[in-house]
Structure 1
Amino acid sequence: MPDPSINTAYLKLSVSERIQLVEDIWDSIAAEASEAVELSPSQIDELHRRVAAHRADPSSAIPWEQVRSKLFPGKP
């Protein structure tokens, strides 16, 4: 039987810690289901559109380190 304390324990975390938790959970799901998750044709088209836009103007990209530092100030 699941531990009921787990259902609300995350509420004691800061917002940035909860975001990190969600990212970690998502990464673990993606690692397990990378082959089981299929993209729809419209999702594939959108990915192709975004790659083409990036290739047309690579300077418009924001480095992950910069995004992460804004989302998680003070974290390495």
Structure 2
Amino acid sequence: MTIDLAELRSLPISEKLRIVEALWDDISASEEPIVLQPWQRDEAHRRSQEMKAAPSIAIDRDELWRRVNG
């Protein structure tokens, strides 16, 4: 499969985010293990700690789309 990156770049942000969301949903449904680089693991840990320290900073999917569609 060939993906036309120029075509993806020309899409509006809202459509790009819909594609990213679909990809994340597909990745999360996969049984294939996800191998993280050390810096990715560190960043995930940092963000997890940030969320635990201030849970009010989180937004749900509906709020995300309200902000995207503005």
State the TM-score, normalizing by the size of structure 1: 0.54
How much has 1:53 moved relative to structure 2?
0.8
Aligned length: 63
Cα displacement string for residues 5-59 of structure 1 (whole angstroms, at most 9, x for unaligned residues): xx6xx68xx723454235334544x245842x41101110110111011001101
- Higher RCO, 1 or 2 (CA under 8 Å, sep at least 6)? 2
CA RMSD of aligned residues (A): 3.0
Give the structure 2 partner of residue 55 of structure 1.
52
Structure 2's unaligned 5+ residue stretches are none
Unaligned 5+ segments in structure 1 are none
TM, length-normalised to structure 2: 0.58
Give me the identity figure in percent. Answer: 34
Larger Rg computed on CA atoms: 1
